[in-house]
Amino acid sequence: MKTWMIVLIVIGVVLTALIIALYFLGKKAQKKQQQQQEMLQAIQEKWNEQEISFKDSAFSFITFWTQSGDRICASHAATLIETENGYLLFEKTNPESPYSAAKFSSTDEVKQYLYNMMNLDYSKYNEQIGTYIILQNDKPL
């Protein structure tokens, strides 16, 4: 068999594997989005039952929700203030630490910070976050 034919076969195998991997990653992303949507719906329904509502304001309630089995839990909460220069996040990371404030340029930075913080916390116990959703008041951040 000629070298160029072997190269074409190898390229074909690699491309096929890549297409299969991308297909399954896409399916996994779809499933995660469905799970997040189900979490959002359950949280919003519970808040409606408790007559909890939110008004548009420069101040908002940030919650990091996780799912373990069939339980949905608020794993972290903070207050986010929108300012002329960005965002200030006020939080208390544990009962023994003082409140802290951090400044961010965008809500994407806030989301990344919260995810990294929670991921670090989970990794202390050799666990992974799993399905999660971050809300600003009652809407996804």
The string of pLDDT tens digits covering residues 51-84 is: 888 888 888 899 899 887 778 888 888 899 999 9
Question: What's the pLDDT at 4?
Answer: 43
Asked if the model's pLDDT at residue 5 lies above 70, the reply is no
Mean per-residue pLDDT for 33-56?
Answer: 85
Question: What's the pLDDT at 21?
Answer: 43
Which DSSP string do the residues of the chain spell out, in sequence order? --HHHHHHHHHHHHHHHHHHHHHHHHHHHHHHHHHHHHHHHHHHHHHHHTT------SEEEEEEEEEETTEEEEEEEEEEEEETTEEEEEE--STTSPPEEEEESSHHHHHHHHHHHHHHHHHTTT----SEEEEETTEE-
